[in-house]
Amino acid sequence: MAMQDTRVIIFGIGSVGKEVVKALSTKTGLKIVGALDKGPVAGRDLGDVVGLGRDLGILISNDEDALFASTKADVLIHTTTTHVEDTYQQLKKPLAAGINVITAAEEMSSPATYDPESTRLLDDLARKHGVAVLGTGLWPTYVDIDIPLLLSAGSRGVQSIKYCRHGDFRAYMGSVVAKHFGMGVTKEAYAQGVKDGVIVGHVGFEGSFERLGHYFGWTIDKVTKDEAQFYGQEGTTTGIRTIARGWEKGVQRIEMEIHVCIDEGWETYDKFDIEAEVPTHMMIKPALYGTRPVANVLVNHIPALLQSRPGIVLRSTVGAFAFGGEVGKYLGDR
């Protein structure tokens, strides 16, 4: 007896959303049944906008009320927000329609770290309608939480973790991500952007530190950050580096560095150092690049989402890791 296809709606047809469509098109048992975007792509065929070379027979809607009222779906992949409150506002209607959600919102890796009230409202709404909400992505989640957890499985007594990402940022130029990082702007524009709250850099350090602390039995009580900008011959930013550190009672437990650049020939890598009874060191070279791996992570979490209990999902999809706390607390992770 053939299994019924899992029906998917994509919310946000930007650079990541387009790659989500391409990733879904390579999977069996998944069927795209709708797409939502408030921009100029609304009204066009999804396949044409994404560049599949064929129409999909799905017109991109800009009317969520009509879409969720008329389209039955099992999963919504959401790619349009960063903050928990904005995510809650955008997910009210699909959750009320009984649709499970995977969101790329950076703060959703550990939502209560940033906005406990919106987290409670979102969790209550998902539970009420019997659906799950899972926040994930390339970073936060995959490279800074899941890979360190997986690497730790062969050890115990983890004392500290370092993760360093040297990334090629060219794929993000012209996007809202580049705007938030302040890439390609003058020193004056960068200072003004920071002052206005437009340039915020990477969002997610605090949430990732909270999650890693939970898994390894640490209580992170302080987060510090060092930032630097690098300028090219035209006087605009071509590189940006942030080093964030998580501390427990004066002991550094976590260090994460993100150094992104748009220069030709920039050497890229993802590097992991875990100090434990069995130290573990690994490098991915070149680094995972662009929006394609982001989309792949979102799509590849669909099975985990559909096996989760209703509410916000905080359980890591990594099954074995060097847990540092009382074992019972991990049994309750959802």
pLDDT in tens, 110-119: 999 999 999 9
Residue 334 lies in a domain: no
Element (H, E) at 254: strand 251-261
Mean pLDDT over residues 120-132, rounded? 98
> What are the DSSP calls for 102-122, one per residue?
EE--GGGGSHHHH-HHHHHHH
* Structural domain of 236: 139-289
Same domain, yes or no, for 29 and 91?
yes
| Tens-digit pLDDT profile for residues 148-178 | 999 999 999 999 999 999 999 998 898 888 8
Mean pLDDT over residues 130-143, rounded? 95
Mean pLDDT over residues 132-138, rounded? 96
| CB-facing half-sphere around the CA of 97: CA atoms within 13 A | 22
Mean pLDDT over residues 127-137, rounded? 97
Mean pLDDT over residues 124-140, rounded? 96
Same domain, yes or no, for 144 and 67?
no
Q: Which residue has the tokens 């969520």?
A: 64
Same domain, yes or no, for 162 and 212?
yes
Same domain, yes or no, for 150 and 175?
yes
pTM over 0.85: yes
Pairwise CA distance, residues 208 & 164, whole Å:
14
- Total structural domains within the chain: 2
Mean pLDDT over residues 228-242, rounded? 97
Mean pLDDT over residues 30-49, rounded? 97
> What are the DSSP calls for 204-248, one per residue?
-HHHHHHHHHHHHT----EEEEEEEEEE-TTSSEEEEEEEEEEEE
Residue 327 lies in a domain: no
What share of the chain in percent tops pLDDT 90? 90
Q: Please give the pLDDT value at position 174.
A: 84
> What are the DSSP calls for 18-66, one per residue?
HHHHHHHTT-SSEEEEEEE-SSTTTTSBHHHHHT-SS--S-BPBS-HHH
pLDDT exceeds cutoff 60 at 270: yes
Same domain, yes or no, for 233 and 278?
yes
Q: Please give the pLDDT value at position 330.
A: 80
Q: Please give the pLDDT value at position 2.
A: 60
Mean pLDDT over residues 78-104, rounded? 97
Pairwise CA distance, residues 166 & 209, whole Å:
19
- pLDDT band (50, 70, 90) for residue 106: very high
Q: Please give the pLDDT value at position 332.
A: 67
Mean pLDDT over residues 198-204, rounded? 94
Q: Please give the pLDDT value at position 331.
A: 76
Same domain, yes or no, for 281 and 156?
yes
Mean pLDDT over residues 307-326, rounded? 88
Pairwise CA distance, residues 332 & 63, whole Å:
38
Same domain, yes or no, for 78 and 161?
no
pLDDT exceeds cutoff 90 at 21: yes
- List the CATH number of the domain containing 145: 3.30.360
